[in-house]
Amino acid sequence: MTLVMGVLNVTPDSFSDGGRWASTESAVRHALQLRDEGADLIDVGGESTRPGATRVAAEVEQDRVLPVIAELKRHGIRTSVDTLNAQTAERAVAAGADIINDVSGGLADPAMAAVVARAGVPYIAMHWRAHAGTMDTLSTYDDVVATVVAELTERVTALQAAGVRRDQIILDPGLGFSKDAEQNWRVFARLDAFAPLGLPVMVGASRKRFLAGVLPADAAVLERDLPTAVLSVLAAQAGAWAVRVHDVAGTRTALNVLARVDSARIGS
């Protein structure tokens, strides 16, 4: 069954909810709400990776995420740490994080693979070409689906060579990163192309810019939650290991509907 990963941005500058959960207390309250709404795990991030975002110091990132992760561990909530920084990842696992979610797939910090290998926890490796400030300039592909699969395959090979077990690795096709709107749709439509790699796939489409194309021109960012829920169902049907979403309640309801339909189909 596809897991629901709830997004918890402990940052002042996230594109959709920046600042709302910037304190440890508010972040923990929101995480508890996401759990009650049906999140299977919470993805805690202390650095925005929205287009154009600037980097923050590792110490600042850690001050944001480590107390939250530790407190959620106390509540028995599974967490992933959303970070590009190997030191942050290592300290987050020590604080109780169950998963490392690295949008760079180990490219941003050469020390990341060694940290993952030592920690032995699941590692989400996303398709990535550059940091947020320049990633939109690197969206040229002859065949976006084939290239994303090939570049992720290279990352898997490199990670394994650095000591990461293959069964630790989860792939993320990187929707919204170094891809224009049409390329995002093409990659999503071909999630089956990742199946030959034999690894779990996480899909992070929530509130991404390409979803604006199916909404009225003046639609607010939060109005992207409905198309996100639809994509979550389609991702589940394609066999996704997890979907990473801001609106946990809507996605959980949509996946519950899918589960009932699948159950009725099996029982008929």
- CA dist 43 and 69 (Å) reads 9
Q: Is 208 one of the annotated active-site residues of the chain?
A: yes
> Helix, strand, or coil here: 45?
strand
Which entry of 35, 64, 155, 244 is annotated as an active-site residue?
Answer: 244
Which entry of 208, 252, 260, 265 is annotated as an active-site residue?
Answer: 208
Strand order in the sheet with 242-245: 169-172, 123-126, 99-102, 79-82, 41-45, 3-9, 242-245, 202-203
Choose among 192, 208, 194: nearest CA to 245: 208
Instruction: Tell me the residue length of the chain.
Output: 268
Q: Is 209 one of the annotated active-site residues of the chain?
A: no
Strand partners, 44: 8, 81
> Helix, strand, or coil here: 226?
helix
Strand partners, 102: 125
CB atoms within 10 A of CB 226: 16
Q: Which residues are catalytic?
A: 208, 244
